[in-house]
């Protein structure tokens, strides 16, 4: 059976798709597939639109394909899936584990050997952010038992994986009995192999003193790159968003991370044009982000999600104004990323090579994407960053 798989959205979705892909024979073109599996996102209006557009394209070009749609849009609005592709099978998030059985099993796909793999260890969110639809589509907070996480990590290491990216909807809230987020990381970084753990997004309140102490214990086993969502640099907007911190707290925790890992990569999410956001609040947010000296941003225009408290708020920002504000924040992001790459020139970083057609790319430990001058083979290698011009920085591999 020829299966085509497409994933939208967050690292949790990516991890779930990766786990499925490792058991299937995949094809590159949906027009040649017997089955098309689409793992959807619904965090923004654009995410909905992209998934529905894809379904309509499959309907035109491969109408005989069996289509399975899962993920957050499928959970939230199955009627939209049916309208875009009548007869598509909708599998809600809580039933994702049964997709392989729906496909009749599957053999391991040759070519799926990877150096970096995302491992989901937590799911669900019960948070109260006023803009967010996720708690309605992933409401059950649950964590993978620690023994199972360790066994999965050991299996990946045996396959040759050398970077494991831990992810969760609320990764920092991981808990299995007495084992919390930090204890899980202690268990994993103690595994006897030359590999590293990278953390996906987690909350600023999870940047605890215990986590900071772990950074010393873990050494090179834990990547010095951290994605800590901010969402706004205006305290007034943060309050309307229902976030549990203010800018002073966020700034102090980022400073604490930098004291432990001065060369770390620090990334964040920022939402512009939240309901009621004034020009002054937008300027305050932009100025705060600039003062923080972060390594890069993920910029989102506020997307109105029916069923969330923010959708009913007054002061919805006009589309043109939202686009202008997003443009200014994205320009700042480009400047921050260029500065981050420039600072890395001359340094030696640990990388995992990822060969692609006609080139070899890699990700450094502090999360800078680079182009290598040759393929060093599997495993972790040290690379000296040689330049930081337009496009990906160039790196020369040093077998140290």
pLDDT in tens, 265-280: 999 999 999 999 999 9
Assess contact for 130 and 308: CB atoms under 8 A. yes
Assess contact for 365 and 349: CB atoms under 8 A. yes
Q: What is the mean pLDDT of the chain?
A: 93
Above 80 in pLDDT, residue 343?
yes
Q: Report pLDDT for 333.
A: 97
Q: What's domain 345-398's superfamily in CATH?
A: Nucleic acid-binding proteins (2.40.50.140)
* Residue from 102, 104, 106 nearest 89 by CA: 102
19 CB contacts (<8 Å, ≥6 apart)?
120
Instruction: Please name the CATH architecture into which domain 116-340 falls.
Output: Alpha-Beta Horseshoe (3.80)
Domain coordinates in residue numbering, the chain: 3-102, 116-340, 345-398
CATH topology of domain 3-102: Rossmann fold (3.40.50)
In angstroms, the CA 308 to CA 129 distance is 9
Place of tokens 């199955």: 78
Structure tokens at 158: 């045996």
pLDDT in tens, 182-200: 999 999 999 999 999 999 9
Assess contact for 349 and 382: CB atoms under 8 A. yes
Mean predicted confidence (pLDDT) in 362-371? 95
Mean predicted confidence (pLDDT) in 232-245? 98
pLDDT in tens, 50-107: 999 999 999 999 999 999 999 999 999 999 999 999 999 999 998 988 898 888 755 4
Q: Report pLDDT for 29.
A: 93
Above 50 in pLDDT, residue 111?
no
pLDDT in tens, 129-154: 999 999 999 999 999 999 999 999 99
Structure tokens at 288: 């705060």
Task: Tell me how far the alpha carbon of residue 42 is from its chain's centroid.
Answer: 15
- The residue length of the chain stands at 400
Question: How would residue 355 be classed by pLDDT, with cut points 50, 70 and 90?
Answer: confident
Please report, in angstroms and rounded to a whole number, the separation of the first and last CA atoms in the chain: 44
In angstroms, the CA 297 to CA 220 distance is 24
Assess contact for 26 and 109: CB atoms under 8 A. yes
In angstroms, the CA 81 to CA 99 distance is 17
359 CB contacts (<8 Å, ≥6 apart)?
371
* Residue from 31, 34, 82 nearest 60 by CA: 31
Q: Report pLDDT for 110.
A: 40
Min mean pLDDT across 6-20, 234-248, 266-280 is at 6-20
In angstroms, the CA 187 to CA 147 distance is 9
DSSP three-state, residue 24: coil
Q: Report pLDDT for 113.
A: 52
pLDDT in tens, 368-400: 999 999 999 888 999 999 998 888 899 888 765
Assess contact for 14 and 198: CB atoms under 8 A. no
Phi, psi dihedral angles at 4 (to 5 degrees): -115, 135
Structure tokens at 244: 């549990």
Q: Which letter does DSSP use for residue 192 in this model?
A: S
Q: Where are the beta strands (DSSP E) in 77-128?
A: 89-91, 116-123
């Amino acid at each position: 059976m020829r299966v085509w798989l497409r994933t939208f959205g967050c690292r949790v979705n990516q991890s779930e798709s990766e786990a499925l892909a490792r058991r299937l024979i995949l094809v590159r073109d949906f027009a040649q597939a017997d089955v098309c599996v689409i793992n959807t996102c619904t965090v923004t209006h654009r995410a909905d639109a992209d998934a529905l557009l894809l379904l309509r394209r499959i309907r035109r070009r491969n109408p005989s394909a069996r289509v399975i749609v899962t993920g957050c849009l499928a959970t939230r609005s199955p009627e939209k899936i049916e309208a875009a592709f009548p007869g598509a099978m909708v599998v809600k998030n809580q039933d994702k584990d049964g997709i392989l059985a729906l496909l009749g099993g599957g053999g391991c796909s040759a070519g799926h050997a990877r150096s970096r793999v995302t491992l989901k260890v937590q799911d669900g969110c019960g948070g109260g952010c006023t803009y967010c639809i996720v708690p309605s589509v992933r409401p059950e907070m649950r964590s993978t038992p620690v023994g199972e996480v360790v066994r999965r990590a050991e299996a990946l290491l045996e396959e040759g994986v050398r970077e494991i990216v831990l992810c969760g909807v609320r990764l920092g809230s991981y808990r299995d009995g007495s084992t919390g987020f930090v204890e899980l990381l202690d268990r994993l970084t103690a595994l006897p192999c030359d590999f590293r753990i990278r953390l996906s997004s987690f909350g600023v309140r999870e940047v605890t003193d215990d986590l900071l102490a772990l950074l010393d214990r873990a050494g090179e086993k834990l990547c010095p790159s951290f994605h800590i969502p901010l969402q706004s640099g205006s305290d007034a907007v943060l309050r309307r968003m229902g976030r549990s911190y203010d800018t002073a707290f966020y700034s102090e925790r980022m400073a604490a991370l930098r004291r432990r890992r001065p060369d770390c990569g620090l990334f964040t999410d920022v939402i512009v044009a939240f309901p009621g956001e004034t020009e002054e609040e937008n300027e305050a947010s932009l100025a705060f982000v600039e003062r923080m000296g972060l390594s890069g941003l993920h910029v989102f225009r506020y997307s109105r999600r029916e069923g969330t408290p923010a959708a009913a708020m007054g002061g919805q920002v006009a589309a043109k104004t939202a686009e202008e504000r997003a443009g200014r924040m994205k320009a700042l992001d480009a400047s921050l990323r260029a500065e981050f790459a420039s600072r890395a020139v001359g340094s030696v970083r640990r990388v995992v090579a990822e060969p692609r057609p006609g080139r070899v790319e890699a990700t450094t430990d502090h999360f800078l994407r680079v182009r290598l001058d040759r393929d060093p083979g599997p495993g972790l290698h040290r690379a000296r960053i040689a330049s930081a011009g337009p496009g990906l920085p160039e790196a020369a591999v040093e077998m140290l």
